[in-house]
Amino acid sequence: MDALETLNYKFADCEGLEFVKIGDLTLAKIDTPLTQAIVAVQGAQIVEWKPANEDQLVVWRAKEPTYETGKSVRGGVPICWPWFGNHPNLTMAHGFVRFKDWILMNAQCDSDGQMHMHWRITDDAESLALWPHRFELDVIMHIGTELRIQLVTHNTGDESFSITQGMHTYLNLGDTRSTVIRGLEGGYYLDKLKGFARTPQDDIITITGAMDRIYFGTTHTVEVEDAEFNRVIVVAKEGSHSTVVWNPDENVPSGMLPEESRNMVCVEAVNAADDTVSIAPGERKILGTTISVRPMN
């Protein structure tokens, strides 16, 4: 059997789960009474997600995504590890695990329709050439009326290491111009579009153009009010003291149409810049995010 047949055979008893091939990538399609979602084996990446009672996606995906080896699908929740953003010496932004196939250790669907998935990747010769540390990395997903993702880093080597990391979460909006983001007031952010200038956030956030900000000193839950779809998307987190808010406006990256920036914003649970994580030999650290949605009125 090939890899696709093997996955469908191994998890044949997991109701609501099917593996398909689109382009170069193998995808897990989830369809249960509680939720619909797609997860890529490459990168253990949530590609899209919504509760079954929502008409619109909650986790956004580009209209015309590419499913290519070595490229993240534009949208979803790419895993950025063991560095977030640019590397000082390598051209590979956001680390290397989002381009590698992960092993699905276990998948189980509860009787009510909640899907649980456990993905794993470990160091190999290729990873050690890029980043010389031993590790075991797990992604634990609970996919139902809420989407909960935990990224668990286990230092399996003999020396401590430090990482930055993130869950690059794309949220689906009816229109950014009528969107308000609450929960980051009273802090400050580094503005990447203005030379990382330190800027106070005195009020709620509105999206009036391109933004690329790292908010510091915050463990707060963020609420994204989407007036067009009459709902509030709630982004909670654990193991993080920094939050990224990003929208490219019309200067969109590859895999995305310029007009699509009006329908998405990234609100990301991260450890970025000065918010680094040090992990001793044998130690585990968790970065987590939980996304939920409720009516606005």
Report how far residue 188's alpha carbon sits from residue 217's, in angstroms, rounded to the nearest whole number: 8
Query: To the nearest 10°, the Cα dihedral for 256, 55, 268, 161?
Result: -90
- Do residues 273 and 190 make contact, with C-beta atoms less than 8 angstroms apart? yes
What is the DSSP code (8-state) at residue 95? B
**What is the helix (H) or strand (E) element at residue 165, kind and residue range?**
strand 165-167
Active site includes 238? no
User: 48, 146, 260, 268: which one is catalytic?
Assistant: 268
Report how far residue 199's alpha carbon sits from residue 202's, in angstroms, rounded to the nearest whole number: 9
- Do residues 181 and 245 make contact, with C-beta atoms less than 8 angstroms apart? yes
User: 168, 220, 228, 260: which one is catalytic?
Assistant: 168
- Do residues 45 and 161 make contact, with C-beta atoms less than 8 angstroms apart? no
Q: Helix, strand, or coil here: 66?
A: coil
Active site includes 116? no
Which residues are the active-site residues? 168, 268
